[in-house]
Structure formats: C-alpha cells, structure tokens
Amino acid sequence: MRRRLICLIAAALLCAGAVLRAYAQGAPDISARSAIVVEARSGAVLFEHDADTRRGMGSTTKIMTALVALEHAQLDDTVTVKPAWAGVEGSSIYLRANQTITMEDLLYGLLLVSGNDAAVTIAGHVAGGVPEFCELMNAKARELGCTNTRFANPHGLTDENHYTSARDMATIMRAAMQNETFARITGTKYHDAMGQSWKNHNKLLWDYEGCIGGKTGYTEATGRSLVTCVERDGVRVIAVTLYDGNDWVDHAALYNYAFGKFERVSVTSDDLAAVKIPVIAGERHTVGVVMKQTVEVTVRGGQKPTISVELPNFVYAVVVRGASAGFAEISVDGVAVERVPLYFAETVLRGVARRDSAAAGGFLRKNPLFIQGKSGPLRR
C-alpha cells in the first residue's frame, strides 16, 4: 500500500534560491484591455488585468490550430490544396488549387506569416473541413481547462462565436510551447517555402532578448492581440495581451516586470530529512530517503514550493541502500512541476525490532511530524 504525503519545504530552502535579474519594481501601466503574464512551467500568475473577460483573439487563434494539427497529422504529410481551401480572405501564403505542400510548410506559413489559407487547408486535411476541425479545437480547449474560449474557425477572422480570455490563451500557449515542434517553428525567424522567404511577424524575436516564440493577431473588430514567450536563465514566461494598440511596448514592459518577481530555488535530499519510513524487523526502526539529483524550480519571491511524497507505509528488513523507495512530486502554486524518484538512504539489516505492523503504527503515532501537511498530519 502506498500513501501520499505532503510537507512544506523548510524556509532554509528559499535561501538557496538565486534571485533572477530584477527590472522595474512597480506593475507596468499598459494599454491592453485584457492581459496576463504567467510562468510557463507552473502557470504561476505574475500579472493580470481583466484576464477572464471574453474577447476576440484574431490570429492568435492559430496557436491552437497548430497544436491540434501537430496532434493529428505528421509533418511529412503531403497535402493537396482543394479549390475551396485557396483564396481565403485576409493574410495569405497564396496557396493555389491542386498544388501540393507538406504539413510542415503549412505550419510555418500558419505561424510565421499567419496564412488564413494555410489554416483552412490544415483544417481540411486533418478533419475534412472547418466545422469538424473546430470540434477538435474546442475539445482540446476543454481538455486544457479553458472556460472562456470557443473556436468557430481555425484562422481568427471575426465571428461572434469565436472568443477567448487572456487567461485561457496563456493556458493554450503553455501547452503549445511544451510541444517541441511548435516551439521550434514559432521561434523561427525566416523560412523558405513555395519559392518564397517567409519572415516571422513576431518583432520581439529581434527586439527583445530571450524571446523564443509567439503569435500576432489583428482584426478591425477585435483590435491587436499578441501572445509571446521569453526564456531567460532557464525560466520561460508567457505574456498575453488582447485588444492592445501598443502591444510590442507593453510586452517588453510586462517581461521587465515579471522577471524581477521570480527566483530559482534548489530542492535537495536535505529537504526530505524529516521523512522516515518505519522498518519492520530491522536493526533500526526507520529508514530515510534521498534524491539522486538536485531539482531547480521557479517560484515567486517569498513563495514556498511543496513536496508530495509517495512512499510505502512501512518496509520489512532487509532494506538496501540505493534501492527504489518511491517518488517525490514538487509543486508550485499547487501545480506539479517535477516528479523524481526516491531511494533508500541507508541499508537496514534484520534485527531485534518488533516484527509486526503495530511497530510501524506506534512509530507513526509518536512521530507525526514527518507526515506534516498544510492542514496537519494526514490520516491513513
């Protein structure tokens, strides 16, 4: 039988964290009607403004289009463009009826130059048509936990039934950036295809240090939208602005603010020193656990991560040092960011200790501290 144990990491843990480079101290004054900034790994929110209001998203829609395509198609798929898929209004990569193109080039055309014809062609190839593809997009949004998002098309042209919130869009971008192919494509500055050289519309790739991807959006009805991702010192941060006429400047200000609010902390075996497993019929009553690596996590300044430990209720001697004991899950803001194996810290031979499970129960009753959680000792 296994149980989950939760213990707060000691305050000394935070002393090991190296504070990231700090910039502006106060929250930025931005033009966006809705905005949010999150740490990509945990989703920790560093800044938000009207982040749950439903708004049009323009071509930032194509983040989800690409994510769904990558989950349902292969990069080397050869796609034949049907007449109905060419000539879509708005931004275009100028697909021609009956031409062939790879799915990979379609994704570059989608994310770098925001081709609406690329979006419709992807939808047709993957699902047979736009309505069917939108069903996949909306299913993915629900899977990710988005509650203020609905997709009516794969490109972002204005539709009253097509909307998102800044918070939901950050959630979608977090998922997309975990896909290595998406991250590679969205971070590419130039790509040659169809006899053309496509330049990424995301100006922050050139203008802001550490920018590794993003997507622009604009319609006359919904204004400018922008989703970007910046990585610095191993930390990825995502910024979303909706209906923002000064988005490039605002994103830079948001990143300057956000990176001053994080710190990196190290989680080591020392943080598990209070964790002891009762040993039945051993020369000692308990055995400790260790990790074989140091884990770096990102937290907001002054925040304490938590460790959730999955271990047996007790073990029988002989216990061998270095043998697998269980797992530790490290969480930030309630979101698991690392899961690492745990090992027995020492060898425990057979001895004169009591041989029944009551010994284990007696130890637990006398030593509740090692299963101390946010709300006190856990019940079994």
User: Residue 328 belongs to a domain with what CATH number?
Assistant: 2.60.410.10
* Same domain, residue pair 181 and 310: no
Final residue in a domain of this structure, among 259, 292, 310: 259
Is residue 348 within 8 Å of residue 282, measured between CB atoms? yes
* Same domain, residue pair 189 and 317: no
Give pLDDT tens digits along the chain (380 positions). Answer: 444 443 333 322 322 232 222 233 478 999 999 999 999 988 888 899 999 999 999 999 999 999 999 999 999 999 999 999 998 999 999 999 999 999 999 999 999 999 999 999 999 999 999 999 999 999 999 999 999 999 999 999 999 999 999 999 999 999 999 999 999 999 999 999 999 999 999 999 999 999 999 999 999 999 999 999 999 988 899 999 999 999 999 999 999 999 887 778 889 999 999 999 999 999 999 999 999 999 988 787 778 889 999 999 999 999 999 999 999 999 987 888 889 999 999 999 998 644 444 444 444 444 433 333 332 232 22
| Residue tagged active-site, from 34, 42, 62, 261 | 62
* Same domain, residue pair 271 and 204: no
* Same domain, residue pair 242 and 269: no
CB neighbourhood size of 347 (10 A): 16
* Same domain, residue pair 239 and 309: no
Final residue in a domain of this structure, among 210, 235, 259: 259
Q: Tell me the three-class secondary structure of the chain, residue by residue.
A: CEEEEEEECCCHHHHCCEECCCCCCCCCCCCCCEEEEEECCCCCEEEEECCCCCECCHHHHHHHHHHHHHHHCCCCCEEECCHHHCCCCCCCCCCCCCCEEEHHHHHHHHHHCCCHHHHHHHHHHHHCCHHHHHHHHHHHHHHHCCCCCECCCCCCCCCCCCEECHHHHHHHHHHHHCCHHHHHHHCCCEEEECCEEEECCCCHHHHCCCEEEEEEEEECCCEEEEEEEEEECCEEEEEEEECCCCHHHHHHHHHHHHHCCEEEEEECHHHHCCCEEEEECECCCEEEEECCCCEEEEEECCCCCEEEEEEECCEECCECCCCEEEEEEEEECCEEEEEEEEEECCCECECCCCCCHHHHHHHHHHCHHHHEECCEECCC
* Same domain, residue pair 328 and 368: yes
**CB neighbour class for 71 (10 Å; exposed up to 12, middle 13-18, buried from 19):** exposed
* Cα–Cα distance measured from residue 280 to residue 348, given in angstroms and rounded to the nearest whole number: 10
* Same domain, residue pair 270 and 294: yes
Instruction: Provide the domain count of the chain.
Output: 2
| Residue tagged active-site, from 59, 165, 225, 269 | 59
Q: Which residue has the tokens 């203008």?
A: 207
Q: Which residue range(s) make up the domain with 293?
A: 2-15+265-377
62 is catalytic: yes
* Same domain, residue pair 125 and 218: yes
User: Residue 92 belongs to a domain with what CATH number?
Assistant: 3.40.710.10
* Same domain, residue pair 250 and 308: no
Is residue 40 within 8 Å of residue 351, measured between CB atoms? no
- Predicted pLDDT at 352: 61
Q: Looking at the chain, how many residues does it have?
A: 380
* Same domain, residue pair 88 and 132: yes
* Same domain, residue pair 212 and 249: yes
- Predicted pLDDT at 9: 32
* Pairing label, strands 315-316, 276-280: parallel
| Residue tagged active-site, from 34, 42, 114, 269 | 114
* Same domain, residue pair 200 and 252: yes
pTM: 0.75
Final residue in a domain of this structure, among 228, 259, 290: 259
